[in-house]
Structure 1
Amino acid sequence: MCYWLVLMYICTNVPDAYYVGLINYITAQLRLLHIALPKMATLEPDAVLQEKLAHTYGLTIKADVPADAGAQDVIQDRVYARLVECIRFHQEIMKCVDEMESVLSVTVLIQFFTSTLVICLTAITVISSESLQFSAYSCNWPETDARFRKTLRICLARMQRPISLTACKFYKLSRETFLLLLNGSYSYFTLLLQMNQKND
């Protein structure tokens, strides 16, 4: 049993870590494109951005624009070349996302399905355990002897504490925890979104 539990743990967590790494990679590439787009019509290229684009995709933005007045066509060609490079960069990102989806779409579907199933089954277990005391109280206890009623009271007192699992004794898995998890996920999402917008 322990062997299978360890194997299941590895099978569920390794794809998650891989998926998170790929998502972070795509996010970083989108941030680079986000930086490049507003600067593509400027005359001087951003040296850091130029280096990142060259390192990641081998894209080059040339800055050797002549300073004389007859160089307007050359300047416009350079600006247009930057637009083309940004378009190529975006196409590479979309290609990467398409490849990622083709490789991981089934795995991600299984992960979401199993996570949802685990949460639902845990909630059902908690609800079933909460209703045990009502089922026990519904028995024909008034017609029983004192020994039965005394034992039933002890049993009912014990059943007031529902059966539930905990996450390393920190969180009890219950309906309330599920709602807190949803609220916390949305709060983290809005926090990360605000941090992203501040960095832009």
Structure 2
Amino acid sequence: MADGWEEDLEKALTWTESGQSVLKLNIRHLWLFGLWPLYESSAFQLYTVYVYILALWNVTECLLTVYFAWGYMDEVTLVIMSTASHLNGLIKMMFFHYDRRRYNALTRRVASLLSVQSDVCGRESPMAAIVDSSQRHAFRLTLSLLLFMFAQCFVWFPMPLYTHPETRRLPFAQHAWDNNSNLYGLSYFAQCAAGLWTTQISFGLDCLFASAMILVTAQLDILAGRILALKYDTYKEKVEHSEKRPMAKFGDKMYNDLCLCVESHQKILSFVNQLQDTMSPIAMSEFFFSVLVICLGLFQATFNEDFGAVFECASFLPIPCAHVFLYCWAANSVTVQAEGLSAAAYSCSWMEASERFKRAMRILISRAQKPLILTAGHLYPIDKKAFVSLVNASYSYYALLSQTNKR
């Protein structure tokens, strides 16, 4: 039965299902850029192949440029910077298609996650407000970051036409072997298209995981509120007193509600484990390439004498920082909110409760005290400290590169 249920979760997501999901914007954005198929179509498969060809073409051009420009520090580092961004997007695309069934399952599990405490949210408007706020937050964050990424196209793509109108220069990789004389128009289009598609797909996947973590944080917040509401006096007022066993009645009600909280906690933890398995390789790829891009971007903005290159790099530097911060902020919110369950449990009326209530509460507190930490590659913890350490690592590599350049 369990295997059949898992197979149903991993079935290809349909267009109708995507429209009913709280992650609708994330899913359909990835569909728009040729990554996430929402219906069986040979045309869409050809579209996906086209995206892969664009990305491979761009990476190949960049590697050839590095080979022919080797020895020119400014040119090589600028090309490696763009190569890292495009290669990051290409690797993420490959991870997605390798684990596509996990992404379908993750989307369906988000719906199950929201239904875990839907009864409570239906009865209590403050709880429902938390869910609505998290969904709006995830939508607005995704939309704003994707539009910000799209706005970079108007900086990078036309820049060679403004700064070097007298020469034929390309946005990312220059063809040193023929001085950009052959297939200039086609190369210009291919580089712009590849840059747009790979960066949108890369940021789209990051926003997908960040949105899922925002929803998890909201569910943990609701759970903390439910645990905190386990007050002896409150239940005493709700349950009618009888002459025989008034204590047992509201004591049983408190215990049963605590059991429901424990069950909700287990379901949330199960979802986080699935999210971890799906997100881990993508996050690791993002961290590695973002550190590299930040390092090279700082170097270009400091030492390149070409104003166009300096402006491009200075405007692009917030992008890799945003990638890293997005993961670290969202994952840290999950960790902090999970730790708050212990404080909520300790603050409820466990001292006046029955012995079995206390035993169940001890189990909940013990599990909640175990840090709920998401990792990149199942190795590197994702939290605020990780963001600081990654930025510091980028600056260290930049300082080393600067010393090498001065020699």
Matched, 1:8 2:198: yes
Partner of 1:51 in structure 2? none
Map of 2:262 onto structure 1: 87
| RMSD over aligned Cα atoms | 3.5
Give the equivalent residue in structure 1 for 2:41: none
Structure 1 residue 166: Cα displacement? 3.9
**Bigger mean CA offset, 1-10 vs 97-106:** 1-10
Q: Which has the higher contact order (CA 8 A, sep 6+)?
A: 2
What's the counterpart of residue 211 of structure 2? 21
Equivalent position of 1:118 in the other structure? 293
Partner of 1:97: 272
Distance 1:160 1:95, change over 3 A: closer
Give unmatched runs, 5+ long, in structure 2. 1-190, 345-407
Give the distance between the partners of 2:306 and 2:293, measured in 1 at CA. 24
Preserved CA contact (<8 Å) 1:40 1:79: yes
Structure 2 vs 1, CA of residues 107 and 160 (structure 1 numbering), >3 Å: closer, same or farther?
A: closer
SS in 1 for 2:195: helix
Does residue 67 of structure 1 match 2:257? no
Count of matched residue pairs? 135
Query: CA 1:8/1:172 → structure 2, altered by over 3 Å: closer, same or farther?
Result: closer
> CA deviation digits over 1:77-114, x for unaligned, max 9?
11111211111111111111111001111111112222
Give how far 1:173 is off: 5.9
- Identify if the C-alpha distance between structure 1 residues 172 and 21 changes in structure 2 by more than 3 Å, giving closer, same or farther: closer
Q: Which ranges in structure 1 are unaligned for 5 or more consecutive residues?
A: 46-62, 130-158
Instruction: Tell me if the contact between 2:302 and 2:310 (Cα under 8 Å) persists in the aligned partners.
Output: no
Q: Does 1:165 align with 2:308?
A: no
Query: Contact (CA 8 Å) 1:166, 1:173: kept in 2 or not?
Result: yes
| Structure 1 equivalent of residue 251 of structure 2 | 76
Aligned runs of 1:138-177 on 2, under 5 Å?
159=305, 163-166=309-312, 172=315
- Residue 32 of structure 1: how far off its partner (Å): 0.1
Q: Identity of paired residues, percent?
A: 19
Secondary structure in structure 2 of the residue aligned to 1:40: coil
C-alpha contact 1:41 1:82 (8 A) present in aligned 2: no
| 1:34 aligned residue | 224
- For normalisation by structure 1, the TM-score amounts to 0.55
Return the TM-score normalized by structure 2: 0.29
Letter in 2 for 1:85: L
Q: Shift of the alpha carbon at 1:128?
A: 3.7
CA contact (8 A) 2:239 2:249 kept: yes
**Superposed CA offset, 1:21-49 (max 9, x none):** 1011011101101211111234547xxxx
Report the structure number with the largest CA radius of gyration: 1
Which digits, 9 at most, give the CA deviation of each residue in 1:143-176, with x for residues without a partner? xxxxxxxxxxxxxxxx496951347xxx6567xx
